[in-house]
């Protein structure tokens, strides 16, 4: 995809005929109508996304976008900044939370450096824009051109994965300090005050939360992003990891596969992706409700109801990995259950 307009044009509305056929088939399965609840909705959505009622299993992959944030210098996180690089490397060794959960779900993890503050890491795809983005409390995170180019490159990465056989994409991230820009994005895109969406991230002390709120307020006041212009929001108060995740959402939708969300950072990106291309919404599948403050505000704004509530707040795509098992369960229901109409409602005649 060469331009953002082209990318947006590529995202089609879901195929209504396939959805109708999938729903009809699900209604005819050996169960009371509607009794498998949201599993039934998932199948209908998948049929609309894949544009066929014949659902075939394919590869599942989580793309983890990793980057550092200039706003770290404002003292908004307690984790050392180099943990972004260390954890990105640990992804390649299979040691992180998402790696363990993805293993259980038969999901691939694809780790991408879009702006970690370190030299390129072995085994990590290098799409580094810079070693960390600008400090949003004092300047834009990046230029509009950088945001647009990274958005397109990330969308193209997602499209290439689909061309190589991936049929379900999940989003994940790594970025010490990234709950600060994400809170700014959620605040702007939902019209909610920062104090209602700024949370503790990775264990920020609650008695210093007022400082993190003040930094988000300062970022918004200094950059004045236009809430109607998603790219402006990303460039001014986002970060490279957040642009990367948004690009994967747009690219995955353009390539016609479902996008499984993860935690708070993914909600901020989904909000901006829907602002850039409202049709993306139909391709999104929520996973869990992150424990991060602001999660309910963001999800409610998009009318997305998470499947799971596990009090998780790790990020990395950990919730997406678990939700992919729910998608597999929905497909298994659709493919393996007997039909109401067959001779499945009779007992064998006694010999
Ligand atoms: O996924 C979530 O909802 C989530 C909530 C809080 C923190 N995190 C992770 O923790 C890091 C950001 O936290 P912080 O405190 O450094 O802004 C980043 O690497 C995220 O992956 C993730
Ligand atoms: C150890 C650790 C792992 C993470 N994964 C995502 N964010 C993280 C933050 C920390 C601190």
pLDDT in tens, 289-310: 999 999 999 999 999 999 999 9
Closest ligand by atom to 245 CA: 1
Q: 347 pLDDT exceeds 90?
A: no
Measured distance CA(119)–CA(131) in Å, rounded: 8
pLDDT in tens, 155-214: 999 999 999 999 999 999 999 999 999 999 999 999 999 999 999 999 999 999 999 999
What is the number of the ligand 1 atom nearest to the C-alpha of 87?
19
Is 193 strand, coil or helix? coil
Query: If residue 42 lies in a helix (H) or strand (E), which one and from where to where?
Result: helix 37-50
330 vs 344, more confident:
330
Mean residue pLDDT of the chain comes to 97
Q: 346 pLDDT exceeds 90?
A: no
pLDDT in tens, 24-45: 999 999 999 999 999 999 999 9
Which protein residues touch ligand 1 with a CB less than 6 Å away? 77, 79, 173-180, 201-202, 204, 262-265, 290, 292, 313-316
From the list 90, 156, 95, 158, the residue with the least C-alpha distance to 122 is: 90
Q: Report residue 288: phi and psi, to 5°.
A: -115, 170
List the structure tokens of 344.
Answer: 């499945």
pLDDT in tens, 215-252: 999 999 999 999 999 999 999 999 999 999 999 999 99
Q: Where are the beta strands (DSSP E) in the chain?
A: 59-67, 108-115, 125-126, 166-174, 259-260, 284-285
- Determine the residue of 201, 213, 317 to mutate for testing ligand 1's pocket, defined as the one with the most ligand atoms within 8 A of the Cβ atom: 201
Measured distance CA(341)–CA(293) in Å, rounded: 48
Closest ligand by atom to 66 CA: 1
Measured distance CA(38)–CA(229) in Å, rounded: 33
Share above pLDDT 90 across residues of the chain, in percent, rounded to a whole number: 95
pTM across the whole model: 0.98
Supply the residue whose CA is at minimum distance from atom 9 of ligand 2: 202
Q: 343 pLDDT exceeds 80?
A: no
CA distances from 176 to 46, 125, 141 (A): 34, 19, 15
CA distances from 283 to 29, 66, 92 (A): 25, 23, 28
Which protein residues touch ligand 2 with a CB less than 6 Å away? 79, 83, 87, 174, 202, 314-316
Measured distance CA(344)–CA(223) in Å, rounded: 64
Q: 279 pLDDT exceeds 80?
A: yes
Question: In the 8-state DSSP scheme, what is residue 78?
Answer: S
Give rounded-to-5 percent helix, strand, coil for the chain: 50, 10, 35
What is the number of the ligand 1 atom nearest to the C-alpha of 290?
3
What is the number of the ligand 2 atom nearest to the C-alpha of 315?
6
Calculated CA dihedral for residues 225, 226, 228, 230, nearest 10 degrees = -40
Q: Are 38 and 327 in contact (CB under 8 A)?
A: no
**Per-residue confidence (pLDDT) for residue 214, from 0 to 100:** 99
Q: 2 pLDDT exceeds 90?
A: no
pLDDT grade for 351, boundaries at 50, 70 and 90: confident
Rounded to an integer, the average pLDDT of 42-56 is 97
What is the Å distance from ligand 2's center to 215 Cα? 21
* Residues marked as catalytic: 316
pLDDT grade for 58, boundaries at 50, 70 and 90: confident
Q: 1 pLDDT exceeds 80?
A: no
DSSP 143-157: -HHHHHHHHHHHHHH
Q: 321 pLDDT exceeds 80?
A: yes
**Per-residue confidence (pLDDT) for residue 124, from 0 to 100:** 98
Domains and CATH numbers, the chain: 4-55+334-343 (1.10.1610.10), 59-326 (3.40.50.10210)
**Per-residue confidence (pLDDT) for residue 145, from 0 to 100:** 98
pLDDT grade for 330, boundaries at 50, 70 and 90: very high
**Per-residue confidence (pLDDT) for residue 258, from 0 to 100:** 98
């Amino acid at each position: 995809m060469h331009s953002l307009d082209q990318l947006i044009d590529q995202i089609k509305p879901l195929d209504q005929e396939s959805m109708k056929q999938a729903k009809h088939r699900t209604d005819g399965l050996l169960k009371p109508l509607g009794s498998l609840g949201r599993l039934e909705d998932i199948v209908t959505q998948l049929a609309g996304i894949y544009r066929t009622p014949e659902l075939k299993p394919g590869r599942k992959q989580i793309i983890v976008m990793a980057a550092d944030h200039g706003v770290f210098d404002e003292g908004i996180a307690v984790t050392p900044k180099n943990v972004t690089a260390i954890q990105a490397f640990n992804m390649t060794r299979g040691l992180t939370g998402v790696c363990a959960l993805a293993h259980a779900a038969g999901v691939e993890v694809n780790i991408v450096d879009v702006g970690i503050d370190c030299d390129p890491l072995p085994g990590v795809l290098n799409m580094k824009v810079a070693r960390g983005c600008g400090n949003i409390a004092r300047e834009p995170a990046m230029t509009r051109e950088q945001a647009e180019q990274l958005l397109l490159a990330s969308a193209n990465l997602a499209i290439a994965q689909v061309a190589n056989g991936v049929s379900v994409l999940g989003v994940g991230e790594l970025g010490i300090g990234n709950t600060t820009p994400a809170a700014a994005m959620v605040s702007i895109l939902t019209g909610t005050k920062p104090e209602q969406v700024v949370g503790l991230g990775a264990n920020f002390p609650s008695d210093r939360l007022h400082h993190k709120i003040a930094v988000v307020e300062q970022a918004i006041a200094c950059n004045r992003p236009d809430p109607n212009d998603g790219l402006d929001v990303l460039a001014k108060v986002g970060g490279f990891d957040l642009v990367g995740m948004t690009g994967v959402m747009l690219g995955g939708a353009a390539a016609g596969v479902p996008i499984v969300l993860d935690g708070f950072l993914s909600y901020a990106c989904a909000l901006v992706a829907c602002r850039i291309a409202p049709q993306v919404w139909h391709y999104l599948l929520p996973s869990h409700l992150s424990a991060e403050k602001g999660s309910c505000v963001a999800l409610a704004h998009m009318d997305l109801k998470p499947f799971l509530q596990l009090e998780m707040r790790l990020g990395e795509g950990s919730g997406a990995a678990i939700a992919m098992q729910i998608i597999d369960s929905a497909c298994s229901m659709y493919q393996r259950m007997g039909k109401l109409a067959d001779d499945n409602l009779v007992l064998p005649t006694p010999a």
